Amino acid sequence: MELIDLVRRTDWYRGSSPRPDGRRLHKEWQHVNVIGDGIEAYVNLNIMDDQRPAARPGALDARTIVIAREPDRGWTGGVRLHEASRVSARRGRFDLRLDEDVLELDGDAIVVRAFLPRERVGVDLRLVPRTAPMLGPNTPLDDGLLHWLVVPRLDASGTITVGDRVHHLDGARAYHDHNWGEFLWGHDLSWEWGFGIPPDSANPWSCVFVRFSDRKRTKASAQGLFVWKDADQHRTFRENELTIVAEGHLKPSTLHRIPPVMGLLAPDRPTDVPARLRITGEGRGDRVEAVFTSQDVCQIVIPTETELSVTLINEVSGHLHVQGTIRDEPLEFDGAAVFEFLAF
């Protein structure tokens, strides 16, 4: 079976359903990261149950987030809200459309097109999977479950536009995941997440890391370091096989916030993005160490839904070095990577 067929069979829109008590807490988002020469991009298409007090029951909150990072110019990005009437998503189908922003299947590829007119930043990309999807269902959260589907490595071709600059990509590294579940921003949950793909396309290894915890990050509910070789998931280090150490703190000289107005409610510089995150997976004779070094951060500021506060999603661009041995086979790679750290 082709990899894109595996995506079609697993990566479909789930949609909201009411809980037994009638509440709707559904959140669902399709996410893409791209790392090219001199450009990185983050695209997120969200469809959620609208939790704002003025929302009518069953109303949807749909939005596109696009962020681009040009290392020599910094971050450009923003959030675009969509009227529910401009949202096209059917349960069981992959294709998703929010106004002109699209995520759809076309031949052997995922196509993602998104553009923010106000910020003049967007992507028009074909993403060809290099790995099979991994489904991670039923991660317990504070008051619900989160489900996760990951395609850790794709080849991206097309364009990323930032203002008048058009970056052309041909076989750039890309990552995709799809998340859905029931929770509110403000519940007792947090996560750290990141991925690594070698810049050398002949290097067969790729990896993804995630840790879910409470807001204080004193108790982890689930954690894993997932390693793929070529198209297949090759080794998973879970729970007690993992040692995770955060070292130091990133001290950015500037900070880009999205959307900008939220800077009024989160004026402080981040203090809890680690300078380095050292992840060691060890067990059954295998050992892999992944060291992420933070370099630059962009902050997505979200109004908390349980109280008048904010949730901060720190998107951190950095460098990942991975080294180890799995089933007596050495693996190593080194290159640009993106990690994400929630803060409050």
Would you tell me which residues interact with other proteins (CB under 8 A)?
A: 52-55, 81, 257, 259-265, 267, 303, 308-309
Q: Note whether 40 and 34 are within 8 A (CB).
A: yes
Closest contact distance (angstroms) between CB of 318 and other proteins is 24
Structure tokens that stand for 301 in this block: 């500021």
Cα–Cα distances in angstroms (integers) from residue 211 to residues 109, 214, 221, 226, 263, in the given order: 29, 10, 8, 11, 27
Closest contact distance (angstroms) between CB of 179 and other proteins is 23
3-state SS, residue 302: strand
3-state SS, residue 57: coil
Closer residue to other proteins (CB): 166 or 265: 265
Chain centroid offset of residue 14 CA: 18
Closest contact distance (angstroms) between CB of 55 and other proteins is 8
Closer residue to other proteins (CB): 79 or 96: 79
3-state SS, residue 3: helix
Closer residue to other proteins (CB): 121 or 277: 121
Closest contact distance (angstroms) between CB of 267 and other proteins is 5
Closer residue to other proteins (CB): 81 or 166: 81
- Strand 242-247 vs strand 276-283: parallel, antiparallel, or unpaired? antiparallel
Identity of the residue numbered 333? F
Closer residue to other proteins (CB): 75 or 228: 75
Closest contact distance (angstroms) between CB of 79 and other proteins is 11
Structure tokens that stand for 64 in this block: 């596109």
Closer residue to other proteins (CB): 59 or 246: 59
Query: What CA–CA distance (Å, rounded) separates 113 from 111?
Result: 7
Place of tokens 């709707």: 24
Query: What CA–CA distance (Å, rounded) separates 287 from 277?
Result: 17
Q: Note whether 13 and 94 are within 8 A (CB).
A: yes
Closest contact distance (angstroms) between CB of 145 and other proteins is 26
Query: What CA–CA distance (Å, rounded) separates 25 from 28?
Result: 10
Closest contact distance (angstroms) between CB of 16 and other proteins is 19
Place of tokens 């050495």: 330
Closer residue to other proteins (CB): 6 or 310: 310
Closer residue to other proteins (CB): 4 or 66: 66
Query: What CA–CA distance (Å, rounded) separates 114 from 106?
Result: 16
